[in-house]
Structure formats: C-alpha cells, structure tokens
Amino acid sequence: MVFDFLKGEFIDVISWLDDTRDTMVWRFDRRGQAIKYGAKLTVREGQAAVFIHEGQLADVFQPGLYMLETNNMPILTTLQHWDHGLQSPFKSEVYFVNTTRFNDQKWGTKNPIMARDPEFGPVRLRAFGTYSMRVTDPGKFIQEVVGTDGEFTSDEISFQIRNVIVQSASQVLAKSGIPVLDMAANLADLGKIIANAIAPQVGEYGLSIPEFYIENISLPEEVEKALDKRTSMGVVGDLNRYMQFNAAESMSQPGSAMGSAMGAGMGMGMGASMAQNMGPWGGQAGAAATPPPLPPQPPAGKVWHLAVDGATTGPFGEGDLARMAAEGRLTRATMVWTPGQDGWKMATDTDLARLLDSVPPPLPKP
C-alpha cells in the first residue's frame, strides 16, 4: 500500500499546451522532479522536448507520443547507468521548446549608416524591416541561450538578433555600391544578402531566420527635401513659362481683385490701341513703325548660375542675363553653369556666346 501511494506521487504524463504567442521555451514543473519509469510523453507538432539530467543535455524528442523507457532514452540511460531491467523513477528537467516561426520581429538602425553614393557622394542611410525566427536545434538553444530559465520568451533573444542584423546590414549597404535612388528596386536582393550573412552567427544559437525583409531605406530629412526640390524643378521645366502660366491662371479667376484689375487694364489697353490705329477723323491707320529685330537669345527654357567672387549666384533667366551682359556684369570669361551641363564653363564656351555677341564693345577713349 505504501509503494502504491508513492507510485501515485510520481509524474506519469508529461505534455505542454501553449496558449501564448511569444513563449519559446517552457520548463515542465513537478514536485521533486520525479518521473515515473514508463511515463507518457506527448510532444505536439511545432514542439520539441529536451531532457536535462544533472545539468547535462540528455535526450531530445521530436513530435510524437513516447513511453519513457530505456529504449527511448539512450543518452539518459547511459548517464544513469541504468540496467535494462530497472523500472525505478528518475529525476530530470524537461524543457518544451516551441519550434514554430516567430513572425513580425522588428529590426532597424539606431544610428545612420555612412555610405558612398556614386551620384551624391557620402550619404547617411537608415534602414528598417521585419524578420521571422525559429528554433532549429533545441538542444543547442537550451545550452547557448536559455540556460535554466523556466519560461523564455522571444523578447529575450530578439534584442541580440537585432544587433546581429544591424551589424551585417550596415556592412552590406555600405559596400553594395548601389545608388541611393536605385536601392528601392533592389530591396529583395539586399535582403537575401543580409540574411545569408547573418545565418552562421544566428545558427550558433540554434536558430534560423527563414524570412528577412527590408521595408525601407531612407535618407536624412534635409536630404530628402533637397531631392524633392530637384524633382520639382525637373517637373516644372521652363521656370519662366511656369511663372507666366501661374500668373495668367490667377488673373483669370472670376471675382478676384487681380482679375478685375486685369479686365480694366485690358479694356484701357484695347481702347488706346484702337485710337492709335485710327487716322484723323476716323481715317485709316498710318503705317506702323517696324521695331528693330531682337538680338539673338540663348535657347529658351534654360536658367543659369554664375560664379561671382568665389560664390554661386542665380538662377537667372534670359531677361536677367541680357541686362547683365549690357551692364558688363556678364562677360565672356564669366564662369557659368546650367542644369545638364558637365561642370562650370566660361560663358564664351556656352550658348551664352550668342547673347554676348549682340553686346556692343566699349566706346573708344577720347
């Protein structure tokens, strides 16, 4: 009767039902750590059971139903020096390991990554994304990471994994040589390179990274604003015509003060024009004077920057350049640049030469 009572104190069913989403390892707790010989062990899909005997890694069980006997526990049997006929209870720690994927883990760079862009030169990049991880070697994971923790969650290892990812991501992005403007088209390839780079180090923890994603690579805010301005200039095209169009649209709005003033001005202008075109007493208009031809102009639509006293000025439109040439502030030796031009050049080596040819030479000294 006493023996039967003691047998009832021993554990004869070992299993784990996980109702959380972040538990990676759970230790099966029982009083005295006494397990009945022949007890049933249930390991469900997405789990592994690891037996630790006197601080040493013993047997690892994959999904299935087991009777804990000597033939199912070869390592533990060796450690216990069991005789095959022995059926006494034994003491071991049992850890259940969740081997499913832990998805939607976040990673990101805390500090900018310095890289050399072929178009913009040195730039600072930030990157972030998501990844998934899973335990592929339960025994190694227990030995290297968990230790004797009775309940180990994904948050406890994710910080270390993020450090590994950021270190490799920084090296890959800095050495990629891919222009910043083309990185969005290469996120998938960069993600595969980073995942392959971190695989060996993560594998030392008994883990793997089955999925790795780069969601975004960004520039500092001030650089992005500069790029937005550059893009806007490209969309606008001819800046002078764009300003004229905006002014015309504003004046054409009904009820606006500018529209009303413009209407009155147009009426006065039309009346004056008719009076000039009419001869005396309603006669025919006299011969209109033909204005002199305009001097040759540089191609329409360009804006120019000038180098004056070591500083860049501009941009200047066609009218500004003509006036500056007449005033002598734009000469053949002035260094100029326009979008699309390969570096700074003297005005005489650009389209502005035609504009300068129309400027008369200085008067001879008396």
Give the three-class secondary structure for 337: strand
Q: What pLDDT, on the 0 to 100 scale, is given for residue 351? A: 81
CB 75 within 8 A of CB 54: no
CATH classification of 304-357, choosing from 3.30.70, 3.30.1490, 3.30.160, 3.20.20?
3.30.1490
**Residues 6 or more apart in contact with residue 338 via CB below 8 angstroms:** 302, 303, 304, 305, 350
**Residues 6 or more apart in contact with residue 153 via CB below 8 angstroms:** 20, 22, 23, 24
Beta bridge partners of 106: 130
Q: Which of 32-36, 43-47, 72-76, 312-316 has the highest mean pLDDT?
A: 43-47
The residue ranking higher by pLDDT, 126 or 280, is 126
Q: Which of these ranges, 181-190, 233-242, 274-283, has the smallest mean pLDDT?
A: 274-283
Q: Domains of the chain: which residue ranges?
A: 2-97, 102-224, 304-357
Q: How far is CA 314 from CA 303, 337, 341, in A?
A: 8, 10, 15
Cα distance between residue 196 and residue 218, in whole Å: 23
Q: What pLDDT, on the 0 to 100 scale, is given for residue 2? A: 34
User: Is 257 a residue whose pLDDT tops 80?
Assistant: no
The mean pLDDT of 274-300, rounded to a whole number, is: 53
Cα distance between residue 270 and residue 71, in whole Å: 111
Exposed / middle / buried, residue 43 (Cβ in 10 Å: 0-12, 13-18, 19+): buried
Q: Which of 2-6, 116-120, 130-134 has the highest mean pLDDT?
A: 130-134
CATH for 102-224 is 3.30.479.30
Instruction: Give the helix/strand (H/E) hosting 3.
Output: helix 2-9
- Which DSSP letter does residue 112 get? P
Nearest CA among 253, 339, 252, 346 for reference residue 299: 339
